[in-house]
Amino acid sequence: MRQYELVDRVKAYNPHTDEALLNRAYVYAMRAHGSQKRASGAPYISHPLEVAAILTELKLDDATIVAALLHDTIEDTETTREEIDRLFGHDIGQLVDGLTKIQKLDLVSKKAAQAENLRKLLLAIADDVRVLLIKLADRLHNMRTLHFVPEGKRARISEETLEIYAPLAGRMGMQDLREELESLAFQHLMPDAYAAIRHRLDELGPKSGPLIERIENELTQKLAASGIKAQVKGRLKRAYSIWKKMERKSVSFEQLSDLFGFRVIVDSVADCYAALGIVHTTWSSVPGRFKDYISTPKQNDYHSLHTTVVGPGRQRVELQIRTREMDRLAEYGIAAHALYKDEATGQPSDGKVRESNAYAWLRRTVETLAEGENAEEFLEHTKLELFHDQVFCFTPKGRLIALPRNATPIDFAYAVHTDVGDTAVGAKVNGALVPLVSTLRNGDEVEIVRAEGQTPPSAWEAIVVTGKARAAIRRATRAAVRNQYSGLGQQIVERAFERIEKPYSEERLKIALPRLARTSIEDVFAAVGRGEMYSGDVVKAVYPDYREEQAAGAGANLAEGGWFGMKQGQGLVFKVPGAGDGAQENQSAIPIRGIGGDLPVQFAPNGGAVPGDRIVGILTPGTGITIYPIQSPALTAFDDQPERWLDVRWDIDEAHPQRFPAQLHVTVINEPGVLAQVATVIGESDGNIDAISITGKTADFREMIIDIEVWDLRHLSAIISQLKAKPVIHAVTRVNG
């Protein structure tokens, strides 16, 4: 970098730049540093020049560029604050002074001074955020040239970068800067791990190029075919983010399926959701990976839709869908707010970026700092906030448990001990009972409520974020699943005997085992539960002389055993009230608790079922009971298989609320922002969106299917009413597939 190149760069984005001022600052810094040299042997001035150049990438104002050129003068030369003020003005003097104050702060030492140092750093940057921007550029250049620095000094600087500056960049929304800082620090702190991952990535290199290109092309064409102009850019993920994922999920490199990330840049928010719909209807999405940071932006102002799909060639592909403006924000973060706003007058921004969330965080932190008397408490608070990829929680005895972000009390329980996780039935966070599926926050004190003899529901596997919890749940549920099937089989068998009014006992069944070609009662139950054997066969094995006609007079026959009346809704044999009907529950029906209860249960694949619905069960070989709302047209497919119909009822556990799946068919007026409105309404009503797919569009309307999770029918109805209340939403109906 040469001085004239720097000036050219500034001119490119700021035609009103004061070229003479930039040149004066350069000449001043060069003279002040004189014959000083960098560790690389290069003249010292190369450093401030490169730092200024990095800041031109963020398109910052003259004061920031000039302060960057001067940033080490007070610290390292004879220069004084007064001299800077006199020659370059108060604004620039203050910036350089701010940088000087934080220059020698040791932010990673274990000493008590650390808290005070962090306090000074935050005070300096809260005063004028440009101080932070210059500091980050300074650190980036120092990290880029760290290999010239004596080895003994590298670890401390890298640690400080990874612990303080990279998270701070991320917290301020500057993702690219954060990634580069992390990557450089990782190389120096863990050279072996870095080299190993780098090596694997290089091996992938030749193969990944064409694959990335193919996915880019396919995605661009699919979107173009639907009239969406999109720019698709793919890349291999960074070594550090791969390493973190390997650590977090305790998996090997080979097991990592999503090594590729793709960015889809579109013109409008409406196009973001439309593109998402197309992606989801073209490839199958990976459950639990959809995140809507447009309707609910991250604290650092990050906006995007995230999803993962099984894309071309069965490759898992992570997608970030956003507008150009969102992309710019993700790259520049807080710096985007500090840019020249007014190109006509060329007025420099004052560095006080009031409108940004990230800056609001900074102000809040500094305010608590002003109130706080305990420096160490402040340090904990601030450092915790910085590490927004992790949460730190405590056991009631004060033991610190570090968990990845979005961790649940279940993860916490398994982090404490496998036995604690396996027997967890509830959690108290800061003294209040919360669902086990809630998200933990920094500083939470978590107490796990346990009950011996419990097994973790298999649904937890999809909820937890730690590898340890996932593996333990898988182990424990494998045994539980076997028990679920035999439990279901037992219920079906016992009811079959009740229905024909014949005595049943395990002794009688034991005698009939040879006729069923099974060796144990559990075997019989499991076979019935899995749908491999019909309850009618069991009845016939125990009572070989029993004939179906005999029971006909009693109002139930063996084969159809009562579901007939229920199916027709005549209520002749059994009436099956839904849970919402209250009092007259059919107690002989099989109780349905939800996913992960005592029985193998799933919900109608198209449309789901929620408590409050009148429901029937269909025994599905290999998967257990599938629950359908009674109005579901899909049920006609089972009309000729009466033996598969099961009489079921809701049995909701109030202490452990669960969400249930449902689908909405929504027709909206085609105008910008309408999809965001839909997402917002559902989010604000505490509904959980699983997926959105666009199923049709005309010039005036968009049709979409939304998969949501709700607590019950009342909740679902409330969401539907809320949606209908929006003028832009034309129609909303529940899907009964």
> Of the listed pieces 71-79, 227-235, 424-432, 717-725, which binds Mn ion according to CB under 5 A?
71-79
Is the CB of residue 646 less than 8 Å from the CB of residue 492? yes
Cα Rg of the chain, angstroms: 32
Nearer to Mn ion, 99 or 590 (CB): 99
Shortest distance, position 47 Cβ to Mn ion, whole Å = 6
Nearer to Mn ion, 164 or 666 (CB): 164
Other beta carbons within 10 Å of 295 = 20
Residue 373 carries which side chain, given as an amino acid letter? E
Nearer to Mn ion, 102 or 678 (CB): 102
Binders in 481-500 for Mn ion, by CB under 5 A: none
CA 367 centroid distance within chain: 30
> Of the listed pieces 72-80, 494-502, 530-538, 660-668, which binds Mn ion according to CB under 5 A?
72-80
Q: Which of 50, 62, 72, 643 binds Mn ion (CB under 5 A)?
A: 72
Nearer to Mn ion, 79 or 304 (CB): 79
Nearer to Mn ion, 76 or 494 (CB): 76
Residues 6+ apart with CB under 8 A from 490: 525, 529
> Of the listed pieces 67-75, 157-165, 253-261, 634-642, which binds Mn ion according to CB under 5 A?
67-75
Nearer to Mn ion, 142 or 285 (CB): 142
d(CA 488, CA 654): 22
Nearer to Mn ion, 72 or 97 (CB): 72
Nearer to Mn ion, 84 or 232 (CB): 84
Shortest distance, position 379 Cβ to Mn ion, whole Å = 25
Shortest distance, position 393 Cβ to Mn ion, whole Å = 38
> Helix (H, G, I), strand (E, B), or coil: what is residue 522?
helix
Shortest distance, position 40 Cβ to Mn ion, whole Å = 14
> Of the listed pieces 65-73, 447-455, 468-476, 557-565, which binds Mn ion according to CB under 5 A?
65-73
Catalytic residue among 5, 8, 19, 75: 75
Q: Which residue is nearest to Mn ion (CB)?
A: 138
Shortest distance, position 219 Cβ to Mn ion, whole Å = 42
Catalytic residue among 57, 76, 258, 494: 76
Known catalytic residue at 75: yes
Is the CB of residue 355 less than 8 Å from the CB of residue 134? no
Is the CB of residue 185 less than 8 Å from the CB of residue 158? yes
Closest CA to 261 of 319, 216, 315: 319
Beta-strand pair 260-266/231-236: antiparallel
Is the CB of residue 604 less than 8 Å from the CB of residue 737? yes
Nearer to Mn ion, 99 or 232 (CB): 99
Nearer to Mn ion, 145 or 455 (CB): 145
> Helix (H, G, I), strand (E, B), or coil: what is residue 477?
helix
d(CA 468, CA 459): 15
Is the CB of residue 376 less than 8 Å from the CB of residue 112? yes
Shortest distance, position 209 Cβ to Mn ion, whole Å = 37
Shortest distance, position 218 Cβ to Mn ion, whole Å = 46
Say whether residue 160 binds Mn ion (CB under 5 A). Answer: no
Size of the residue set binding Mn ion (CB under 5 A): 2
Closest CA to 450 of 396, 404, 488: 396
DSSP symbols for 298-338? -TT----EEEEEE-GGG-EEEEEEEEHHHHHHHHHTHHHHS
Shortest distance, position 138 Cβ to Mn ion, whole Å = 4
Q: How far is CA 186 from CA 44, 109, 139, 167, 178, in A?
A: 26, 19, 14, 14, 12
Residues 6+ apart with CB under 8 A from 564: 573, 642
d(CA 375, CA 378): 5
Phi/psi zone of residue 333: left (φ > 0), alpha (ψ -120 to 50 degrees), beta?
A: left
Binders in 222-261 for Mn ion, by CB under 5 A: none
Tally of residues, the chain: 737
Other beta carbons within 10 Å of 469 = 25
d(CA 615, CA 459): 21
Nearer to Mn ion, 96 or 662 (CB): 96
d(CA 315, CA 262): 12
Shortest distance, position 38 Cβ to Mn ion, whole Å = 10
Q: How far is CA 236 from CA 13, 177, 205, 240, 593, in A?
A: 31, 17, 9, 12, 43
Longest alpha-carbon distance in the chain: 111
Q: Where are the beta strands (DSSP E) in 324-431?
A: 390-394, 400-404, 424-429
393: tokens are 């929680």
Which phi and psi (to 5°) does residue 320 adopt?
-120, 120
Binders in 121-150 for Mn ion, by CB under 5 A: 138
Binders in 281-320 for Mn ion, by CB under 5 A: none
DSSP symbols for 599-610? S-EEE-TTTB--
Residues 6+ apart with CB under 8 A from 109: none
Nearer to Mn ion, 134 or 590 (CB): 134
546: tokens are 């029993």
Query: Tokens 């003020």 identify what position?
Result: 85
- Which residues belong to the active site? 75-76
Binding site residues, Mn ion, CB under 5 A = 72, 138
